[in-house]
Structure 1
Amino acid sequence: MPKLWNETIEAHRSAVRDAILDAAMTLVSKHGPLSVTMSQVAKEVGIGRATLYKYFPDVEGILLAVHDRQVAGQLEHLHAVRDAGGNPARQLEQILRIHAMMVHEHHGSAISSVMHQGSARKHQLAFLQDILQRSADSGVVRSDISSEELAKFCLHALSAAAEESSRAAVDRLVQLTLDSLRIH
């Protein structure tokens, strides 16, 4: 097939896939994750069920793809902050604040139960461990505890953001976490 034809087919498949994910999230928002069926998703997108099954085997597969898409977007944001460089203390604060706000905003969402499982959790831990090691190397955070332990501490501490009632409370939680990381 000509290159243009392949690009057009891929663009179409990508658009259909995105429409499926968007429709599923709309249905989840209205009815909850356990009420969504493949028939509802197909109808919402405007495609046949047979077409839908070419993209996903079941609703769980769709919800996992939604989760992956959201995590990928969040990770892009975190990587952009890290890659921008600058003051390590400020960079660490921004990254912890972004993470805490994601936890706060997604609490109770259809995908929150899988947000911290599997490869996403491992990636978060490795990413934060790298930032903490860079911060320790520059003298911004304590080095008497391994960056791996500090990363686990941060993720657990910031998971409390899910239960906070306001952004101000999340900010205080981030500040408390930062204070515990700093050299005393």
Structure 2
Amino acid sequence: MPKITGDSLSQHREQIRQRVFEAFVELISERSFDAITMAQLAAAAGVGRTTIYHHFPDKDAVVVAFASHETNRYLDELGSVLADAATPSERLGRYLRHHLAEGEQFHLGLGPQVYGLLSDSSLREIREHVVAVETVLRTIIDDGVASGDFTVTDVDGVLPLIHACLNPRHLEAETIVGFVMAGVGART
């Protein structure tokens, strides 16, 4: 009989998942995604091979579950950061600063080297997580346009441009924030 950790079966399952996620982060920092095996993930997480397959049928499932976990954590933090902002301009500034401060940890560099190896269905599931974050930004921009705080005429075009501005890590955060705020015509 396997040993159950935690106070309940659901807590035990969550602890196993968390250990697998931590092992995934460790392994992906050391080697490429295609070089990681489920056996290596299990060993790094301190669980048996049958246990890891009980929770995740394959590596794609690990990546999708990890992306979901990280997105939910990120959205919770973002919600707290934005909660008491009085204006769309203030919310946008907070959104940008939070994304610049936390975005690198949130994304973990899981770009083309991982996503290029995932199945189409896994990529669609991960895209849903990206859309959840984009929805927060869309709401901020829509609210700013409605209140007259922003002079954006093409919200669909502006959203990817804003996120593209958040990628350059070699620039000062306030330079990026100032550029985006000017780009949307923010009243401060």
Q: Report if the CA contact (8 A) 1:33-1:110 is conserved.
A: no
Is the alpha carbon distance of 1:163 and 1:86 closer, same or farther for their aligned partners in structure 2, counting shifts above 3 Å?
Answer: closer
- The 10-residue stretch of structure 1 (172-181 or 111-120) with the greater mean CA deviation from structure 2: 111-120
Residue number among 122, 127, 146 corresponding to 1:118 in the alignment? 127
Q: Deviations over 1:125-149 (max 9, x none)?
A: 3221211122223321125x15x33
| Residue 175 in structure 1 maps to residue 178 in structure 2 | yes
Q: Report if the CA contact (8 A) 1:67-1:111 is conserved.
A: no
Query: Which residue is 2:163 aligned to?
Result: 158
Q: Deviations over 1:140-162 (max 9, x none)?
A: 1125x15x33xx41432332432
Deviation at 1:101, TM superposition (A): 4.0
Give unmatched runs, 5+ long, in structure 2: 1-6, 116-122
Deviation at 1:39, TM superposition (A): 0.6
Deviation at 1:95, TM superposition (A): 0.8
Amino acid at match of 2:22: D
TM-score by length of 1: 0.78
Query: Which residue is 1:25 aligned to?
Result: 25
Is the alpha carbon distance of 1:92 and 1:66 closer, same or farther for their aligned partners in structure 2, counting shifts above 3 Å?
Answer: same
Alpha-carbon separation, structure 2, partners of 1:73 and 1:159: 22
Q: Report if the CA contact (8 A) 2:23-2:44 is conserved.
A: yes
Amino acid at match of 2:182: D
Moved over 6 A (4+): none
Sequence identity of aligned pairs in percent?
19
Amino acid at match of 1:128: L
Is the alpha carbon distance of 1:53 and 1:126 closer, same or farther for their aligned partners in structure 2, counting shifts above 3 Å?
Answer: same
TM-score by length of 2: 0.77
Alpha-carbon separation, structure 2, partners of 1:83 and 1:131: 12
Q: Report if the CA contact (8 A) 2:20-2:42 is conserved.
A: yes
Q: Deviations over 1:152-173 (max 9, x none)?
A: 414323324323414x1x4312
Deviation at 1:93, TM superposition (A): 0.8
DSSP-derived class of the 2:33 partner: coil
DSSP-derived class of the 1:162 partner: coil
Alpha-carbon separation, structure 1, partners of 2:45 and 2:72: 23
Q: Deviations over 1:14-73 (max 9, x none)?
A: 111111111111111122322111011111122211111000011121122222221211
| Residue 135 in structure 1 maps to residue 134 in structure 2 | no
Is the alpha carbon distance of 1:183 and 1:40 closer, same or farther for their aligned partners in structure 2, counting shifts above 3 Å?
Answer: closer
Give unmatched runs, 5+ long, in structure 1: 1-6
Deviation at 1:102, TM superposition (A): 4.3
Amino acid at match of 2:97: R
Structure that is richer in helix per residue: 1
